[in-house]
Amino acid sequence: MKISPSILAADFSCLYQEISRVEGEADSLHFDIMDGHFVPNLTFGPGLVASLRKKVNLPFNVHLMVDNPQEWISPFVDAGADLITVHLETCRHLDRLVTVIKEKGTKVGVALNPATSLQELEYVVSEVDIVLAMTVNPGFGSQSFLFSVIPKIRDLREIIKKRRLSLEIEVDGGINEDTAARAIEAGASILVAGTAVFGASDPGKAILRLKNS
């Protein structure tokens, strides 16, 4: 299982130092891009990703919580994203967008809000690298894990088995040592963690604790 720390929970006044503390243990770095429309919060854009790209060696996973995600693919690819995850709820032409991202040589993920069903993924799931099951309603860090999403993670694991797909299941929101175990047991293989990592006194050790839980 892999841990992807979300920099949303880091101290922005010393962001690079914060990231250096997890570079040894993290498997990738998670960037939460929020536009104040799809979600009621604003974060940062491709400029920040590009400036960190010059200093950090981890794979960069960009989680787009924005309306009109098609307008933001090229800027984030150019900024150095290794994986771009778009929300199903924001895509009118999901198949087209998945193709556009893959053609740029970038991995592609599709995220689902807690209330969104797996059904609409049926004919596109074989084309994606990651399905991200949100375990909080997107927009903020430090929210509580929604256990109602566990059956969706199990169902997706079943679909992967039945159709022999190679995609990974990622979960995002409210991950701590207790909920990490529940998500993994249900079938997730990548955990995004903000508060549990950057809120800890030693973020590197916090990642190892999550992995051992």
User: Which active-site residues does the annotation give?
Assistant: 32, 172
Alpha helices in the chain (DSSP H): 15-20, 46-53, 73-79, 94-103, 150-163, 177-186, 195-198, 203-212
129 versus 172: smaller Cβ distance to ligand DX5: 172
194 lines the binding site for ligand DX5 (CB under 6 A): yes
C-alpha closest to that of 110 among 92, 87, 90, 93: 87
> Which of Zn ion, ligand DX5, none lies near 110, with the C-beta cut-off 5 to 8 A by kind?
none
> SS in 3 state form for 80-99?
CCCEEEEEHHHCCCHHHHHH
> Which of Zn ion, ligand DX5, none lies near 203, with the C-beta cut-off 5 to 8 A by kind?
none
152 lines the binding site for Zn ion (CB under 5 A): no
20-39 mask for Zn ion (x: CB under 5 A)? ------------x-------
Q: Which of positions 46-65 make contact with ligand DX5 (CB under 6 A)?
A: 63
CA gyration radius for the chain?
Answer: 16
Q: Residues with Cβ < 8 Å from 44, sequence gap 6 or more?
A: 31, 33
Q: Helix 203-212 and helix 177-186: axis angle, to 10°? A: 40
CA distance 136 to 149: 9
30 versus 152: smaller Cβ distance to ligand DX5: 30
170 lines the binding site for Zn ion (CB under 5 A): no
Q: Which of positions 129-148 make contact with ligand DX5 (CB under 6 A)?
A: 136, 138-139, 141-143
* 3-state secondary structure at position 194: coil
99 versus 213: smaller Cβ distance to ligand DX5: 213
Residues lying near ligand DX5 in the complex (CB under 6 A) are found at: 6, 8-9, 30, 32, 63, 136, 138-139, 141-143, 172-175, 192-196
Residues lying near Zn ion in the complex (CB under 5 A) are found at: 32, 63, 172
